[in-house]
């Protein structure tokens, strides 16, 4: 099962949102439809975030990187890459190469977002220290 194939979260109404990494070296903007937030407990998300990932998803046409001074991309698995800040280490994006959408780590969005967490995926990979949040 591929990560994007498992998600059933609804696409919400159009929104205008901004976000960034901790140091401000990467800034982005979303103007369009955005998916509600999904918690991913896969091993890769745990390793890149130190916990689990809470992410939304947006179509590439509705997403723009406004500042990319410190943006780097890491190929985590062939065909998949993760965008992060190479200065502060902020975990920002995940995408399947060649697809028309990007997942955005929800904690990097500027509040208020109006989004809600609606789903947990890859719960079979959760570490023993964590109880999966009930939604």
Q: Is 133 within the bounds of a domain?
A: no
Q: Is 14 within the bounds of a domain?
A: yes
pLDDT, residue 135, reads: 87
Per-residue pLDDT of the chain (135 residues; tens, 9 = 90+): 344 445 666 666 788 999 999 999 999 999 999 999 999 999 999 999 999 999 999 999 999 999 999 999 999 999 999 999 999 999 999 999 999 999 999 999 999 999 999 999 999 999 999 989 888
pLDDT, residue 93, reads: 98
CA 116 to chain centre: 14
Segments forming the whole domain that contains residue 40: 3-124
Q: Is 131 within the bounds of a domain?
A: no
Q: Is 65 within the bounds of a domain?
A: yes
- Is pTM beyond 0.85? Reply is yes
Q: Considering its fold, how many domains does the chain have in total?
A: 1
Q: Is 132 within the bounds of a domain?
A: no
Kindly report the CATH number assigned to the domain that includes residue 79. Answer: 2.170.150.70
Q: Is 116 within the bounds of a domain?
A: yes
What does the alpha-carbon distance between residue 62 and residue 86 come to, in Å, rounded to a whole number? 24
Q: Is 36 within the bounds of a domain?
A: yes
């Amino acid at each position: 099962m591929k990560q994007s194939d498992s998600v059933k979260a609804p696409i919400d109404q159009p929104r205008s949102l901004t976000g960034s990494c901790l140091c401000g070296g990467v800034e982005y903007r979303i103007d369009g439809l955005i998916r509600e937030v999904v918690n991913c407990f896969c091993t890769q998300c745990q390793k890149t975030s130190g916990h689990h990932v809470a992410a939304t998803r947006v179509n590439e046409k509705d997403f723009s990187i406004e500042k990319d001074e410190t943006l780097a991309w890491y190929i985590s698995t062939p065909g998949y890459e993760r965008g992060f800040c190479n200065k502060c280490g902020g975990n920002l994006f995940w995408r399947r190469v060649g697809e028309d959408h990007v997942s955005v780590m929800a904690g990097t969005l500027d509040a208020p977002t109006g989004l809600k967490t609606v789903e947990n995926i890859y719960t079979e990979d959760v570490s023993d220290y964590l109880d999966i949040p009930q939604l």
